[in-house]
Amino acid sequence: MSLTEHLLRPLLSSSAARPVITHYDDAEGSRIELSVATLANWAAKTANWLVEEFDIEPGDEVAVDLPAHWQTMGVLFGAWWCGAHVVQDPAEAAVAFVGPDVDGSAAESTAVVALDPLGRGLTTAPAEGAFDYLSEARTCGDDFSPLLPIDGDTPALLGTTVDELAARARERATALGIGEGDRVLSTRAWTLPDGALDAVLAPVAAGAHLVQVTNADPDKVTEHRDAERTTVDLG
């Protein structure tokens, strides 16, 4: 079973319509809210694209060099759904997901993520040989079923296996005081592995709602906290 199935499937069964992430970008002045079902939809599109376009199989390396963003969440859960091993170094990867200003050309293939608040693709063509992730993945299927079995000992994140990472996500949720139904405010970067573990996987594992603020303006964080009625503060 993939990490995505470990963590997202229970939420899809019990509360698919509820929010799983509210993403603020204070530099852009944007606020976007995704339900569990919408996140799963983006993850499925990503997983289908990785399998159909790049023949990704369980254990294949996929690099993710992206900021804290709702699109990053779709990329991560999509990569894990098809059994990919998420790494940092593009040179190790079959595919590298990068932002518009990051060079991922060391990977076999580069997927440029526009990071547009509304989910639009790139406004200019990517470098030769690179892919516009949002425009490409959008056309893929809304459901995903792994073509190959994903064992619990398949590496999922920097060598940590699927089963180990699922267990660590639940452990971190407990350690951080995140429980089911909590609203978790985070201004943390989603560095690999610790930032993503605490600010992405732990809230999802607990069944909490993540309120992620990117490019946080200190004067606005209190406003976000009050407006979203958050109950846990990761800082």
The domain defined by 3-141+158-233 folds into: Rossmann fold (3.40.50)
Tell me the average pLDDT across 115-130: 87
The domain locations on the chain are 3-141+158-233
- Residue 118, pLDDT > 90, answer no
> How does pLDDT run across 223-233, given as a tens digit for each residue?
999 999 999 99
- Residue 117, pLDDT > 90, answer no
**pTM reported for the whole predicted model:** 0.97
Local confidence band at 199 (pLDDT 50, 70, 90 cut-offs):
very high
Tell me the average pLDDT across 166-175: 98
Q: Are 165 and 156 in contact (CB under 8 A)?
A: yes
